[in-house]
Structure 1
Amino acid sequence: ASVPADVSCPFCRKHIDKDMTDMVTMVNNKCDSVIKDKNIYDNNNCKRINTFIASDLAESKKMFTLINCKLKDNNAKKPNCQYEGILLTNRKLLVQCDNNNRPVHFGGYIKKKG
């Protein structure tokens, strides 16, 4: 099932954006604009790193493409946050869910073995 990336699902807003890889060469530039557009900050400061799932949610055994957006300058202040985007393929997700099986926290990823 598809999960809309809107404000009613904070996890979705912060971590799901299937359009991030429309142009792989633009991943670096997309991090800046997507993080700013989605208003993703850490206590009103630039968030050091944010990972996007370039897909809709699916069963947990599925491999995903991710974009890891890492802050270029750790001393940067909002709104001057600039990120380096790194494309990661074939990753399994670690997602924490609430009692209703809704995702609430992105815990990281596992690289495919082999």
Structure 2
Amino acid sequence: MRIQVVCLLLVLLTATVLTRDTKINQRYKKFINQHINENMDARSCDEEMKARKINIKKSMCKKINTFILASAEDVKYVCKKGEKVGKMTKSNRGFDIVVCNLKKQQGKRAKCQYHGEKLNNKKILIKCEKGFPVHYDGDIGYCDN
């Protein structure tokens, strides 16, 4: 009987850990989709936002979104070696970023139009969980060198 209880507890513990890791993995994939694009040009905000389906709801455009012009591994490294700032982590080195700002939203089914601006050598502020970036929190004010 004790062995069965111990086995049951191990199964429940394993399931809990796997569920938590799955959630982190899903948040990391969402982060990559929303914020990582190594080769993006500031003129391609409309296309990228649409292709990646980055919006608040189907009928609402996201007001601002930042793309980091680096590999997912380079950004993940920030979680390892960055500077802790409260619950966030700030990069030690600068990244080039493209900030996409909503110009206008048309119609019931959002047709979003963005103005992109490329900024060079900006430090980023991200939230990390278990060594993975899951939220971009930096803005231009935070990112000034």
1:63 to 75, 80, 94: 94
Deviation at 1:79, TM superposition (A): 4.0
User: Residue 10 of structure 1 corresponds to which residue in structure 2?
Assistant: 30
Deviation at 1:52, TM superposition (A): 0.3
TM-score (norm 2): 0.62
Contact 1:46–1:76 (8 Å) recurs in 2: no
Unaligned runs of 5+ in 1: 1-6, 22-26
CA distance in 2, matches of 1:96, 1:20: 23
CA distance in 2, matches of 1:17, 1:55: 6
Confirm whether residue 90 of structure 1 aligns to residue 104 of structure 2: no
Larger Rg: 2
User: Residue 39 of structure 2 corresponds to which residue in structure 1?
Assistant: 19
Confirm whether residue 108 of structure 1 aligns to residue 123 of structure 2: no
Unaligned runs of 5+ in 2: 1-26, 79-90
Contact 2:38–2:69 (8 Å) recurs in 1: yes
Confirm whether residue 37 of structure 1 aligns to residue 68 of structure 2: no
Large movers: runs of 4+ above 6 Å: none
TM-score (norm 1): 0.77
- Specify the SS of the correspondent of 2:138: strand
CA RMSD of aligned residues (A): 2.0
Contact 2:54–2:62 (8 Å) recurs in 1: yes
Per residue, is there more helix in 1 or in 2?
2
Letter of the structure 2 residue corresponding to residue 32 of structure 1: D
